[in-house]
Amino acid sequence: MEMLIEALVGSMPKGPAKDVRALAEEFGPEGAASIMVERLRDSPLGAEMPERVLRELCAAMVAQAMTVNTSGRGRTAQRRRA
């Protein structure tokens, strides 16, 4: 199960990662994970997952989103100023 979670989280696109990061910045990592659990619970994926696994997945997604490299934003801003 751990490998499945790692595979899902590792391939998270940047757009959703940005949304998850915004949730974490507003509600904290635990709050963001709880919000995601509520959102995913009614999805086809979440409906089939045990609650514990769904919580682990959401916590891992938040952790991954918080570590995504955002340094590209600074370079773009610097180029615009130049």
Residue 20 within a domain = yes
Q: Which residues have CB under 8 Å from 52's CB, separation 6+?
A: none
| Average pLDDT for 48-74 | 79
The stretch 36-54 carries a mean pLDDT of 90
Alpha-carbon span 48 to 35, nearest angstrom = 18
Which residue stretches of the chain are H helix?
Answer: 2-10, 14-41, 44-48, 51-67, 72-81
73 is a domain residue: no
Whether pLDDT at 62 is above 60: yes
The answer to whether residue 75 is domain-embedded is: no
Domain hosting residue 63, numbered range: 2-67
- The whole-number pLDDT of residue 81 equals 44
pTM of the model: 0.69
Mean pLDDT of 30-38: 95
Largest interatomic CA distance in the chain: 52
Structural domain tally of the chain? Answer: 1
Query: Both tokens of residue 2?
Result: 């751990």
Label residue 11 by pLDDT band (50, 70, 90).
Answer: low
Q: Does a structural domain hold residue 74?
A: no
Please indicate whether residue 51 or residue 71 has the higher confidence score (pLDDT).
51
